[in-house]
Amino acid sequence: MADALRIGIAGLGTVGAATIRILANAANELAGRAGRPIVVTAVSARDRAKDRGIDLSGMVWYDDPVEMACRHDIDIVVELMGGSEGTARAMVEAALDHGTAVVTANKALLAKHGPDLARRAESHGTTIAFEAAAAGGIPVIKALREALVGNNIRRVSGILNGTCNYILSRMEAEGLDFQQCLKAAQELGYAEADPTFDIEGYDTAHKLALLTALAFGTEVDGDAVYVEGISGVTPLDLEMAEELGFRIKLLGVAERTGAGIEQRVHPTMVSRSSQLAGVMGVTNAVAIDADPVGTITLVGPGAGGGATASAVVGDIVDLARGNRVATFGRPSNELDKPIRAPMQRHEGGYYIRLQVMDRPGAAAIIATRMAERGISLESILQKGRDARRTANGSVPVILITYATTELLIRNAVAAIAEDGVLDGPPQVIRIER
């Protein structure tokens, strides 16, 4: 058997501790699969005295993870600290400059600096493995980077944030409002004290940017992702979705179009008969539409110490076997510069909820503004008009459109607002049929 692979781990939170636990508990089995022992020889974290429920004896402790990354007696550096700048970035760069392979779960770092880090890795003859950075325990990175290389990928879409999926699932099942479900998610540990990164879609956007680069052979372009969160979704929206045969999910969608590559994150109405619609709670799912394989859907736990650590250990074993793949699937100089498809060019059906002043002529104004822009309406619904009338005398009106463009919808809704018939901001949710 070959010499031991020596690991240095920076970040001993939930995922870091779970990674050490797996490597220790399955040491013999992993050695057999990797063809060599895998040993954690060094660690780094902010609090040396904290009890993490793991045995750190025999491991060298480094207060400075950058110093650890510069050691020549460490073969792989595992970065589990998080953050797109600061210590995490400095440590990864230091490791790559020493020709040391990096395993990371840091989606924010790669979404912002992925192209530069990939070039740095190649210039020093090493690579970055990041299965844990998107969809937790689901092996979607490996699928895109390796298993599906013989396919022309047309579209990647998925539920990439367990917090949002839990909130929407519970809102639908129990008829609760957003704030009630967010509080429950925080109490259960599914949402952070400051949940903005999750509920406003940024976490999903970072993951989507990585999947897009792998799917289409482009440089990571995190700034190109259009982002909306779920904080504006109401119980009425979920009720109407069910009545119309849909379920609302926060989706990340990357698609090659005639205008370029579309990257978007937003609440979406998906058919209740689709596989993504059936994914509830904190579970994640990714659907990949490719030729010739067709559409495949990967479903599994998207977060949590065990699921994420599973992905980290998978990357470590791959590297132990000598399986080194270019960070984004092909050499950096062969990655295309992405052509951004403007969100305004997006085409599809739309659900529009308007809080309309209940007075003569209001409905005619709405219909006129839509018709002026060539938007065809599939249906107009007033659900529980009297029961839902507000103190201001407004009622909810639901519009379902046939396929049209984002630009026309935005222009029409803005024109309706200018006509003074609305009592509050409109809700616009895209429909994926």
Q: What are the strands of the beta sheet with 38-44, ordered from one edge?
A: 60-62, 38-44, 5-10, 76-79, 101-104, 128-129
* Residue 107 CB burial class (10 angstroms; 0-12, 13-18, ≥19): buried
Q: Are 209 and 319 in contact (CB under 8 A)?
A: no
pLDDT digit string, tens, across residues 156-214: 999 999 999 999 999 999 999 999 999 999 988 888 889 999 999 999 999 999 999 99
Residue 302 confidence (pLDDT) = 82
Average confidence (pLDDT) over 288-297: 96
pLDDT digit string, tens, across residues 148-158: 999 999 999 99
Task: Report the distance separating Cα 260 and Cα 34, nearest Å.
Answer: 41
The yes-or-no answer on residue 50 being catalytic is no
pLDDT at position 52 over 90: no
Average confidence (pLDDT) over 316-321: 96
What one-character-per-residue DSSP string does 265-321 give? Answer: EEEEEEETTSTGGG--TTEEEEEEEEETTEEEEEEEE-SSHHHHHHHHHHHHHHHHT
pLDDT digit string, tens, across residues 345-372: 899 999 999 999 888 888 899 999 999 9
Q: How large a percentage of the chain has pLDDT more than 70?
A: 99
Residue 407 confidence (pLDDT) = 95
Query: Could you tell me the pLDDT band of residue 1, with boundaries at 50, 70 and 90?
Result: low
Catalytic residue among 112, 207, 337, 383: 207
pLDDT at position 26 over 90: yes
Host H or E run for residue 257: strand 246-257
pLDDT digit string, tens, across residues 325-351: 999 999 999 999 999 998 988 999 999
Query: Could you tell me the pLDDT band of residue 104, with boundaries at 50, 70 and 90?
Result: very high
Q: Please, what are the domains in the chain?
A: 152-301 (3.30.360.10), 346-432 (3.30.70.260)
Query: Could you tell me the pLDDT band of residue 384, with boundaries at 50, 70 and 90?
Result: low
Query: Could you tell me the pLDDT band of residue 385, with boundaries at 50, 70 and 90?
Result: low
Query: Could you tell me the pLDDT band of residue 238, with boundaries at 50, 70 and 90?
Result: very high
Query: Could you tell me the pLDDT band of residue 31, with boundaries at 50, 70 and 90?
Result: very high
Task: Report the distance separating Cα 406 and Cα 290, nearest Å.
Answer: 25
Q: Collect all residues with Cβ–Cβ distance below 8 Å to 72 and sequence separation of at least 6.
A: 98
